[in-house]
Structure 1
Amino acid sequence: MPILSFSSNDIDVITGKKTRTIRKAWKTPLKVGDRLYCYWNLVSKEKMKIFEAFVTKIEDIPFEDIKDNDELAVEEGFKDSKDMLREFKKMYGGRINPNENFQIIYFEKINIDDWKGDKIDEKAMITKRADILFDSGKFDKSTMCYDAALRIDPDDVYLLNKQGDNLSRLGKFIDAIECYDKALEIEPDNVYILNNKAIALLNSGNINEAYKVSTIAYNFRPSSPIILYWRGFILEMLGRYDDALKVYDKLIEIDSENPEVWNSRGNLLSDMGLLEQAIESFDKAVEVCLDDSEMDAGSINRMGNAYIDLGKYDDALDCFNKAISLEKHNIDFLLNKGVVLMELGKFEEAIDSFNKVLLRNPDNEDAFFLKEECLENL
């Protein structure tokens, strides 16, 4: 019973795009007609059966003809022959004898009803793999798996929504919207998919249409925190600040312990010129954070800018130091810190901050000229 194990590099095998593989020849080499039992990550906790197949063609090839063959490597899904060689060394425990014989194995998947071994739920298997890839941020690979699962069941609302989310993360917003539309044909009152579509429309630059779809979702569920959050943001993008503020205030009544809501409200109030209220909102965001990892460095920086506008430079400096502690190489934060240090007359410290900016971006004109101004005041 020949068994083959495939890894994360072999995603095309699961999706059916690739129907061949290269392996070291066994003591009893494979031959045409052999039945293959194929697994995903056979020796790991993620082990799962993926399919059975018949060998349809075999090409014997010495390792000498493989190791520098970039064309063959690319056909196998690798960047080049060196990348393929690294995979072979992992697969076979290190060094490979140049005289070793390999086989290029061509195969054809067997219909699951004709399997001899344990049968699987193929759609569930592919979906699980897609979800794992999605959660690990490998969106280019997960989209291939969602496509493969949708070929099995094109009307699965979960898959259509997940593929839409996946395509959105790849910046393919029009394709994502098509997925959401297909899902909404089946479940037109699914508020989460409506909200996802609104977000995709917003990201594609179609803000007015995003607002219309958000309104549909809102009418179905006016107290949903996620719908309210994005509705407030869309209204903000439309310049309807008063309406956006009402939405954020309503959301705070529902979910007052969410730092993201307080941050968004603070950003909005800052844009409205209501600086004292903005600072109160930012302060509340910091207060409700469970730990530093939840703190929004960008919003803390905005709070610092609000303090500058109010002439409260010591408070502004505290904010910029806190933002830098979270994102120590952020040029904007370092630049802002330098500016407030200048206002406080601490020119040597300001120069140090501007030097950190110039170290990361030597062409930053703001840092250059502000540093020159500090040097003149020493």
Structure 2
Amino acid sequence: MRNSRPRLFSASLVVLLLSLSACSVERGAGRLVEEGNNLTQEERHAEAIPLYEQAIAQDPERSKAWFGKGNSLRGLERYEEAIDAYDKGLEIDPDEAEAWYDRGGSLIDLERYEEAIASFDKALAIDPDYSEVWSDRGVLLMELQQYEEALTSFDTALEIDADDAKTWNNRGHLMRALRRYEDAITNLDTALEIDPDLPDAWNNRGIAIALLGRHEEALTNYDKALEIDPRFARAWSNRGQSLASLERYEEALTSFNAATETDPDYSEAWNNRGVLLSILGQNLEATRSFERAVQADPDNESAANNLLRMNGNVLDPNINR
């Protein structure tokens, strides 16, 4: 009988020690994930990953550590590894809508659009009011030229959040793709009322106006975009296109130069520059521009055709946006 009490005490002590050990792991892994998340927010992804891995080593079932690791891997453009990390986290917690959304983002980065839409659909099945997912889903569908479905996605996003400037901008972009230019401008005006500092909306508005033949007015929009973001290569290239349409060729060349200096891999800007140089009779420099365009994007058919045709001086006249 005298030995029974110590045994009970020892058993209680073991339970207590196990509980303390579990709490220690909980606090340790949780703290590591929190520190990793802070580094990820600061875009210090290479430093964040070891913290997530330490958390996983302590607690392999901690889904947030896997999701955080996925986000940092995506930040380092290691997209396949990011998807693997999201998948491991989703095996543990399949009802995390944000993780499905982030997984879809990595699939977009790999241009696996159909799979990305499937991932977004998983997120929306969990959270039908996730407006950002609806908006990005619309962008993907637009990329796949499924315009009516894209419009439905944008409209659903705006029913949830009518003050999302980026969605209004995306809807305006879609209206432009459908050649509904006045509707595009109306949508882009709404985007800019909400966020006047959205350079993409100013650029898209400029394109829609230019497609209506109002190039002077388009220039004002491109200039607004570039005032906000001086390194906006597409706006520089579009500005060059409108200047070329107004036969202000030297100014157009300056804009195309700015576009290619800002983004040396911008194939369309190199092609536009080549077309303009050919107009100016600078065929050798035009050829070099077409070569750069094809080097940057071997699928740029306009640039490839222009390069082939240079000897005969017969060019594809299209300047691309």
8 Å CA contact 1:354, 1:370 repeated in 2: no
- Structure 2 equivalent of residue 274 of structure 1: 214
Distance 2:289 2:118 in 1: 43
AA aligned to 2:285 is S
Q: Does residue 255 in structure 1 map to residue 195 in structure 2?
A: yes
Q: Does residue 312 in structure 1 map to residue 248 in structure 2?
A: yes
Q: 1:296 to 1:369 in 2, by over 3 A?
A: farther
- Structure 1 equivalent of residue 98 of structure 2: 158
AA aligned to 2:256 is F
TM-score w.r.t. structure 2 length? 0.70
Q: Gapped runs of 5+ residues in structure 1? A: 1-39, 52-117, 373-378
- Structure 1 equivalent of residue 164 of structure 2: 224
Aligned with residue 368 of structure 1, among 298, 306, 311: 311
Distance 1:246 1:330 in 2: 29
- Distance apart, 1:315 and its partner CA: 2.1
The structure with the greater share of residues assigned to helix is 2
Distance 1:335 1:132 in 2: 35
**Alignment size in residue pairs:** 258
Deviations 1:274-320 (A, max 9, x none): 2111111111112222xx4xx22232222212112212223222222
8 Å CA contact 1:123, 1:152 repeated in 2: yes
Q: Gapped runs of 5+ residues in structure 2? A: 1-45, 296-303, 316-321
- Structure 2 equivalent of residue 22 of structure 1: none
**3-state SS, counterpart of residue 246 of structure 1:** helix
Q: 1:305 to 1:133 in 2, by over 3 A?
A: same
AA aligned to 1:320 is F
Aligned with residue 54 of structure 2, among 48, 52, 75: 48
- Distance apart, 1:186 and its partner CA: 2.4
Deviations 1:330-357 (A, max 9, x none): 565455445545655xx4xx24412423
8 Å CA contact 1:266, 1:277 repeated in 2: yes
Aligned with residue 202 of structure 1, among 142, 145, 168: 142
Q: Return structure 1 stretches of 4+ with deviation > 6 angstroms.
A: 43-46
- Structure 2 equivalent of residue 356 of structure 1: 288
**3-state SS, counterpart of residue 187 of structure 2:** helix
After superposition, residues 169-184 of structure 1 pair within 5 angstroms as 169-184=109-124
Identity %: 24
TM-score w.r.t. structure 1 length? 0.60
8 Å CA contact 1:331, 1:357 repeated in 2: no
Q: 1:136 to 1:331 in 2, by over 3 A?
A: closer
AA aligned to 2:81 is K
The structure with the greater share of residues assigned to strand is 1
Q: 1:208 to 1:231 in 2, by over 3 A?
A: same
**3-state SS, counterpart of residue 126 of structure 1:** helix
Deviations 1:78-99 (A, max 9, x none): xxxxxxxxxxxxxxxxxxxxxx
- RMSD of aligned alpha carbons: 3.0
After superposition, residues 328-367 of structure 1 pair within 5 angstroms as 328=264, 332-334=268-270, 336-337=272-273, 339-340=275-276, 347=281, 350-357=282-289, 360=292, 364-367=307-310
Deviations 1:263-284 (A, max 9, x none): 1111222222221111111111
Distance 1:261 1:224 in 2: 12
